[in-house]
Chain A
Amino acid sequence: AQSVTQPDIHITVSEGASLELRCNYSYGATPYLFWYVQSPGQGLQLLLKYFSGDTLVQGIKGFEAEFKRSQSSFNLRKPSVHWSDAAEYFCAVLPHNFNKFYFGSGTKLNVKP
């Protein structure tokens, strides 16, 4: 079955530490890939997206993500987390020739002072 998996429901990191949030998908061909952030009481905001080309994509707020075809993964990273990064992060995929997005269940990030 087609799916988007974010295996970590909650992650806690210390401020200044590095961060990696995992996302795996199971679709036949490489889909379009996205990461969104949702702050409390807010809508989702796009952090970055991958369509094709360079497998390391840069986004806003210092985030980056790497597409690994062999692992069907699109993990989100940040070298140094700030307290304001505490939020919920969603991975999303758009299969080619489809017209709707599929979202993962989200990873809630807590940042310790």
Chain B
Amino acid sequence: DTAVSQTPKYLVTQMGNDKSIKCEQNLGHDTMYWYKQDSKKFLKIMFSYNNKELIINETVPNRFSPKSPDKAHLNLHINSLELGDSAVYFCASSPRGPPDTQYFGPGTRLTVL
């Protein structure tokens, strides 16, 4: 049973397109996160939600919009994709939020051409 799943695993698209990445956790956790891992492997928080409420909203472009339809799902929609958006995006969840252990999904490798 996959605890934190992401779809798709790979995403190749053209500049200017709009795309979404989906995340689901079956752990019953209250908190979910989106991280971006750049080409130098730096992992940086983008957003976190607790029970569908936005908790962390880092300084990311407005083109990135998270949506949490329920506490088991946190999707990431990206408008007008740019070359610099190419990265691996990780979803994670934790029982109640920091400092609880985070459980990571396998990542989505986004390539913008």
- Which of A41, A90, A100 lies in contact with B56, CB distance below 8 A? A100
> Closest chain B residue to A42 by CB distance?
B106
The answer to whether B98 touches A44 (Cβ under 8 A) is no
The answer to whether A45 touches B104 (Cβ under 8 A) is yes
Taken together as a complex, chains A and B put the C-alpha atoms of A51 and B40 apart, in Å, by 28
Name the distance in Å between B40's Cβ and chain A's nearest Cβ: 6
B41-72 CB mask vs A (1 if < 8 Å, else 0) is: 11111001000000110100000000000000
Known: A99-B97, A100-B48. A43 touches B43 (CB 8 A): no
Which chain B positions have C-beta within 8 A of A36?
A: 104
Which chain A positions have C-beta within 8 A of B101?
A: 46, 49
A8-32 CB mask vs B (1 if < 8 Å, else 0) is: 0000000000000000000000001
Residues of A within 8 A of B (CB): 32, 36, 41-46, 49, 51, 88, 90, 94, 98-101, 103, 105-106
